[in-house]
Amino acid sequence: MSTSNAAARKDAPHTDDLSHQIETLRADVSKLMATVSDDVSDGIGEAGRQIGQTGRDARRTATNTVTEHPLAAVGIAAGIGLLLGLVARKG
């Protein structure tokens, strides 16, 4: 019986130490998740801004190209319309 009491005394500090380590690990994981979440949010926001800027740049370039070369733009539009008409007719 004395061996079971000694084993119980050995387990108690070990269990408390393990509980403390688990709580520390939970706190560290929580901090890490908050940091990752902030970084992901910042990255998504920056990607959205870059996509918006790229769209505005593409629109500006297309507008300038059509303004500078109106006959070429009409020819390209007619060609694309012809191709889409042929595809729609066969489909």
Interval 28-55: pLDDT, tens? 998 888 888 888 888 899 999 999 999 9
Position of tokens 């050995």? 10
The vertex-88 CA angle with 79 and 83, nearest 5°, equals 15
Residue 12 pLDDT > 70: no
The vertex-49 CA angle with 48 and 50, nearest 5°, equals 90
* Domain segments of the chain as ranges: 2-90
Residue 83 pLDDT > 90: yes
**In the predicted model, what is the mean pLDDT of the chain?**
86
Query: In degrees rounded to 5, what are phi and psi of residue 12?
Result: -60, -50
Q: Does the reported pTM lie above 0.95?
A: no
- For 77, the token pair is 């539009």
Residue 8 pLDDT > 70: no
Residue 14 pLDDT grade (very low, low, confident, very high; cuts 50, 70, 90): confident
